[in-house]
């Protein structure tokens, strides 16, 4: 069968543009013994993909020029010669940015559309939910009653962090980039205070105003001025969970770090980064608890759905403009 897929044409300098991606038609053979064919229905676009668009050593190898892009996806098995996967099964894989793919089952997980809508396996019950859960509970060692600050708080990871912290009786302040996002955080996610960092000259002063007793834990999705503000406001023995630094991903020249980093010492802070894929040991625990929270109506999430495989690059680029609400997802066809 014919399948269209996106390939990278060159590594971007600064913000990626449409020219960095090319839609290519390929021929997929029929499944061999033990293989099955999947037709993608939903694709994920995520900020971490920007990190794979540059050469150099990292925790995951860069996307290769002229090779198909990868990313989380949910699709339906349409042909199978593998006894573990039947026609009609829905699966989660990492062969995104394309219409169809062949697999022998390695790294592929069956998903159940009766538990949550299929695309939620790319967000709240998928990688971004797991990132929030791991970062907050395992890395951040969240304590009942902590005062928590979350940046990019209305995004896929941030909005889940906010709600898990509220379920643990914490005081939560979030920052995001529009009034619509701030309203959602207060009304739907139920956090205690939220501010639009684009309208706030001094992030540190605004955080102090909203959380006068300081903060105990900062969940960092943004870096830059938000990290600087958190360092100013953290209480002694506070923790910083370094999840992401999206404000820096498109920098063309390295930027200096926060000039108040010495507060890590004076306040005896702990700052720890993590990569979600290192924490498979708590995947089952996450799935179980998150499913319970969802079924009890305790979790809210938003999706911005872009329809059409050909629009995938734009959905990805939009992550850096803040124009979407919640998780950015591509629906492969109408
Ligand atoms: P989001 O859904 O939060 O989307 C990104 C959001 O970041 C945008 O919507 C925008 O919202 C905000 N943003 C973009 N540019 C800036 C900027 N310059 N300053 C402040 N905010 C900005 O993405 P995810 O929830 O998927 O990811 C959140 C973070 O978590 C990212 O940094 C990502 O790299 C990281 N991550 C880390 C993982 C790990 O294993 N460590 C795994 C998954 C994600 P706004 O309108 O609020 O500006």
Ligand 1: residue of 160, 221, 250, 302 to mutate (most ligand atoms within 8 A of CB) is 221
Angle at the Cα of 175 (from 223 to 133), degrees rounded to 5?
A: 75
Angle at the Cα of 108 (from 243 to 311), degrees rounded to 5?
A: 65
Shared domain check, 268 and 218: yes
- Report yes or no on 287 lying in a domain: no
- Report yes or no on 288 lying in a domain: no
Closest atom, ligand 1, to C-alpha of 47:
34
* Model pLDDT for residues 201-259, shown as the tens digit of each residue: 899 999 999 999 999 999 999 999 999 999 999 999 999 999 999 999 999 998 999 99
pLDDT recorded at residue 57 = 87
CATH code at position 11: 3.90.180.10
- Report yes or no on 225 lying in a domain: yes
Count: domains in the chain: 2
CATH code at position 203: 3.40.50.720
Domain containing 263 equals 127-277
Ligand 1: centre distance to CA 48 (Å)? 9
Shared domain check, 255 and 211: yes
d(CA 22, CA 137): 40
Closest atom, ligand 1, to C-alpha of 153:
47
Shared domain check, 136 and 228: yes
pLDDT recorded at residue 201 = 86
Shared domain check, 220 and 92: no
Which long-range contacts does 201-207 make (Cβ < 8 Å, 24+ apart)? Answer: 203/175, 203/228, 203/229, 204/228, 204/229, 204/232, 204/233, 207/149, 207/173, 207/175, 207/232, 207/233
Shared domain check, 114 and 45: yes
- Ligand 1 proximal residues by C-beta, below 6 Å: 46-48, 128, 131, 152, 154-158, 176-178, 181, 221-222, 243-244, 246-247, 274-276, 319-320, 322, 324, 327
Shared domain check, 314 and 265: no
pLDDT recorded at residue 254 = 87
Question: Which ranges of the chain have pLDDT less than 50?
Answer: none
pLDDT recorded at residue 56 = 86
Closest atom, ligand 1, to C-alpha of 175:
47
* Model pLDDT for residues 256-272, shown as the tens digit of each residue: 999 999 999 999 999 99
State the pTM of this model. 0.97
Shared domain check, 71 and 188: no
pLDDT recorded at residue 305 = 98
Shared domain check, 185 and 44: no
pLDDT recorded at residue 106 = 97
* Alpha-carbon separation of residue 267 from 142, 170, 253 (angstroms): 18, 21, 30
Shared domain check, 212 and 272: yes
pLDDT recorded at residue 94 = 97
pLDDT recorded at residue 195 = 98
The strand pairing partners of 234, in sequence order, are: 215
Shared domain check, 198 and 105: no
* Alpha-carbon separation of residue 288 from 94, 108, 131, 132, 137 (angstroms): 22, 19, 15, 15, 15
Please list, residue by residue across 285-300, b when 16 or more beta carbons sit within 10 angstroms of its beta carbon and e when fewer do. ebbeebbebbeeeebb
């Amino acid at each position: 069968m014919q399948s269209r897929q996106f390939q990278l044409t060159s590594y971007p300098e600064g913000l990626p543009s449409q020219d960095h991606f090319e839609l290519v038609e390929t021929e997929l053979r029929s499944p061999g013994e033990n293989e099955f064919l999947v037709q993608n229905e939903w694709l994920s676009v995520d900020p971490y993909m920007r990190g794979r668009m540059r050469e150099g050593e990292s925790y995951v190898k860069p996307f290769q020029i002229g090779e198909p892009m990868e990313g989380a996806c949910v699709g339906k098995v349409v042909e199978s010669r593998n006894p573990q996967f039947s026609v009609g099964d829905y699966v989660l894989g990492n062969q995104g940015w394309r219409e169809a793919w062949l697999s022998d089952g390695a790294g592929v997980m069956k998903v159940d559309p009766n538990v949550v809508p299929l695309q939620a396996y790319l967000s709240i019950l998928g990688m971004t939910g797991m990132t929030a859960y791991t970062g907050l509970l395992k890395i951040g060692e969240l304590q009942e009653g902590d005062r928590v600050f979350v940046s990019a708080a209305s995004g896929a990871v941030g909005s889940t962090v906010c709600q898990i912290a509220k379920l643990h009786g914490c005081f939560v302040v979030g920052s995001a980039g529009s009034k619509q996002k701030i309203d959602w955080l207060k009304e739907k996610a139920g956090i205690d205070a939220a501010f639009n960092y684009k309208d706030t000259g001094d992030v540190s002063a605004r955080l102090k105003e909203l959380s006068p007793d300081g903060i105990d834990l900062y969940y960092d999705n943004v870096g830059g001025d938000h990290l600087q503000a958190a360092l100013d406001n953290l209480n002694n023995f506070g923790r910083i969970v370094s999840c992401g630094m999206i404000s820096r991903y498109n920098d063309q020249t390295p930027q200096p770090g926060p000039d108040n980093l010495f507060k890590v010492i004076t306040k005896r802070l702990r700052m720890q980064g993590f990569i979600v894929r290192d924490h498979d040991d708590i995947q089952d625990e996450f799935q179980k608890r998150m499913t319970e929270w969802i079924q009890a109506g305790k979790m809210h999430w938003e999706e911005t759905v872009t329809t059409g495989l050909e629009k995938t690059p734009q959905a990805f680029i939009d992550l850096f403009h803040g124009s979407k609400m919640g998780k950015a997802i591509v629906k492969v066809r109408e």
